[in-house]
Amino acid sequence: MAMIAHKCPQYRVTVVDTNPERITAWNSDTLPIYEPGLDEIVKKIRGRNLFFSTQIEQGIKEASIIFVSVNTPIKTFGTGVGMAADLQYWEKTARQIREASQSQKIIVEKSTLPVKTALAMERILTATANEVHFDILSNPEFMAEGTGIKDLETPDRVLIGSRETPEGIKARDELVEIYANWVPRERIITSNIWSSELSKLVSNAFLAQRISSINAISSLCEKTEADITEVARAVGMDSRLGDKFLNASVGFGGSCFKKDLLNLVYLCRQYGLKEVADYWDGVVRINDYQKERFILNMLGAMFNTLAGKRICLFGFAFKADTGDTRESPAIYVSRRIVEERAELVITDPRALANAEADLADIQGAVAFVEDPCEAAAGCDAIAVMTEWDIYATLDFKKIYETMRKPAYIFDGRNILAHEDLFKIGFNVFPVGKPPLTHF
Ligand SMILES: NC(=O)c1ccc[n+]([C@@H]2O[C@H](COP(=O)([O-])OP(=O)(O)OC[C@H]3O[C@@H](n4cnc5c(N)ncnc54)[C@H](O)[C@@H]3O)[C@@H](O)[C@H]2O)c1
């Protein structure tokens, strides 16, 4: 919404949320999320044509286009528990819109939703005698956290799905006009509404699948002395495949991949497509396996016990350039380390507050330290969880001196200079490459 307001001064954009703390933060100097470049844009246009408010009813009344971007987490109860999208926030919003609307509106599905959700939205909006007309569009968001501003400024594509009725097409054209203020026309694509809903789930499923594919091969590399970086380079140079998303790691995280995959699996099951569901479920299972394998490698390297050892996690965010820790592999790794009765120290430049909240139930067993050098002091091992640039430039000679010996590094992102670390004295365990050990 900030990008639309920034690029289209002729539109007035109001963001409303049920969470007053978030709105207060959006109106303050400390925005509630860290996203490179976002602060500058918000500060420039806030109060001009971008507003943040808790007045939901008024927001609905005044708007002619409403982007619904509420959370759609995985269900934690009832039918479809742990798999299906929990659409309670979505449905509540639909009812709120119906009750407060006094004039015709375009409703844009911005949240990631199971295919056919627009049908439910239509039914809720037209379920009373209220004469107001609504057009529903699907406009999934493809931006990724950490590169959000760049992705929004120069998107690969903007996808807009609509009903193929004259009203549907008219509404779709209105949304096309908004994006056309800065996105080249050939990158704004339109489709039927179900294709649009499904495309978002499929995009994330394909991206996650690439990570799980390379991670699956990383385990084979570790058994065969092949090197995953060399394999990925050779594979990625095939122009049919390309080189993106081929970095082996401790596993993918983030609020979207797992949730959207599980959603796809659930949808397939619902439509009786068991084999298809199992196929995509495999992508999730490989990701879980990769996280557990990281712990098993750690155990194997450290004489099959972590008890009483002190282990430092470098990074807790699910990837660099974000403070977001939702579904971060670091959560699983932390819990397993504590389960193995090791002491745990966590450092991260942006995600420590979220880390503390994620691990609230085991807080007694964890220390949170801002400075990575301080965090590593007195530890037996460092495990890199997030590919923050700063970790590659630390003075590892100094760090080595402050650690217990033998000192280990488990590079869950393959970002460090492994040979150099080995020369300093570390035993180095990358993902999908032969370890460098002094034993
Ligand atoms: N985070 C991403 O990078 C990303 C990218 C693409 C798509 N998406 C999709 O966008 C959606 C939102 O994701 P998010 O990461 O921003 O989630 P989020 O949980 O950070 O934000 C959702 C917000 O909606 C608010 N909300 C809930 N019910 C409401 C209601 N009835 N009225 C007003 N506000 C309400 C919540 O208070 C919260 O602030 C999800 O469907 C997600 O899959 C997210």
What is the average per-residue pLDDT within 116-125?
A: 91
Report pTM.
0.95
pLDDT value for 339: 97
Task: Output the pLDDT for position 51.
Answer: 98
* Cα 223 to ligand 1 centre (Å): 41
Alpha helices by DSSP H, listed for 340-436, are 352-358, 372-376, 396-402, 418-424
What ligand 1 atom has the least distance to the C-alpha of 85? 41
Q: Which helix (H) or strand (E) holds 49?
A: none
Residues 6+ apart with CB under 8 A from 216: 286, 290
Continuous segment of H or E residues that includes residue 395:
none
* 147/115 Cα distance (integer angstroms): 26
Confidence of residue 52 (pLDDT cuts 50, 70, 90): very high
* Residue 396 tokens, joined: 């590892």
293-308 mean pLDDT: 98
In 3D, which of 290, 137, 314 has the Cα closest to residue 222?
A: 290
130: pLDDT strictly greater than 80: no
Q: Examine the residue annotation and report whether 256 is marked as an active-site residue of this protein.
A: yes
Q: Is the CB of 93 under 6 A from ligand 1?
A: yes
For a substitution probing ligand 1, which of 17, 26, 57, 326 has the most ligand atoms within 8 Å of its CB?
A: 17
Instruction: State the distance from the centre of ligand 1 to the C-alpha of 69, rounded, in angstroms.
Output: 5
Average pLDDT over residues 263-268: 96
Please state, as a whole number, how many other Cβ atoms lie within 10 Å of the Cβ of residue 160: 23
What is the distance in A from the centroid of ligand 1 to the CA of 6?
20
Nearest to 381 by CA among 333, 317, 318, 349: 333
Residue 268 structure tokens: 């397939």
Q: Among 55, 71, 258, which residue has the most ligand 1 atoms within 8 Å of its CB, making it the best to mutate? A: 71
Residue 324 CA, closest ligand 1 atom number: 1
In the structure, what pLDDT confidence band is assigned to residue 91 with cuts at 50, 70 and 90?
very high
Between the CA of 326 and the centroid of ligand 1 the distance, in Å, is 13
Contact 117, 149 (CB under 8 A): no
Atom 37, ligand 1: residue with shortest CA distance? 19
DSSP 85: B
Please indicate whether residue 54, judged by its CB atom, sits closer than 6 Å to ligand 1. Answer: no
Q: What is the CA 360 to chain-centroid distance, rounded?
A: 21
User: Residue 292 Cα, ligand 1 centroid: separation in angstroms?
Assistant: 29
Q: Which atom of ligand 1 is nearest to the CA of 113?
A: 41
- φ, ψ for residue 192 (rounded to 5)? -70, 160
Active-site option among 256, 268, 312, 379: 256
Give residue for tokens 């987490």: 73
What CA–CA distance (Å, rounded) separates 142 from 203?
8
- Supply the residue whose CA is at minimum distance from atom 10 of ligand 1: 111
Q: How far apart are CA 216 and CA 137, in angstroms?
A: 38
- Give percent of the chain above pLDDT 70: 100
Q: What is the mean pLDDT of residues 399-418?
A: 98
Q: Render pLDDT for 17-51 as a digit per residue (tens, 0 to 9).
A: 999 999 999 999 999 999 999 999 999 999 999 99
Q: Is residue 55 within 6 Å of ligand 1 at its C-beta?
A: no
Distance CA 414, CA 431 (A): 6
Mean pLDDT of the chain: 97
Task: Report yes or no: 193 and 163 within 8 Å, Cβ to Cβ.
Answer: yes
70 lines ligand 1 (CB under 6 A): yes
pLDDT tens digit sequence for 302-326: 999 999 999 999 999 999 999 999 9
Cis peptide before 435, with omega less than 30 degrees from 0? no
Is the Cβ atom of 18 under 6 angstroms away from ligand 1?
A: yes
Q: Is the pLDDT reported for residue 131 higher than 90?
A: no
Give the pair of three-digit tokens for residue 403. 């650690």
Question: So what's the pLDDT on residue 336?
Answer: 98
Look at 10-24, 113-127, 197-211, 358-372 and tell me which has the smallest mean pLDDT.
113-127
Q: Virtual CA dihedral for 101, 104, 109, 111, nearest 10 degrees?
A: -30
Asked if residue 69 has its Cβ within 6 Å of ligand 1, the reply is yes
Task: Encode pLDDT of 181-197 as tens digits.
Answer: 999 999 999 999 999 99
Ligand 1 site, residue 86, Cβ cutoff 6 A: no
139 lines ligand 1 (CB under 6 A): no
Distance CA 254, CA 203 (A): 15
| Cα separation, 279 vs 258, whole angstroms | 14
DSSP 76: -
> Is 255 near ligand 1, meaning CB less than 6 Å away?
yes
Question: Strand, coil or helix: what is 412?
Answer: coil
Q: Is any ligand 1 atom within 6 A of the Cβ of residue 117? A: no
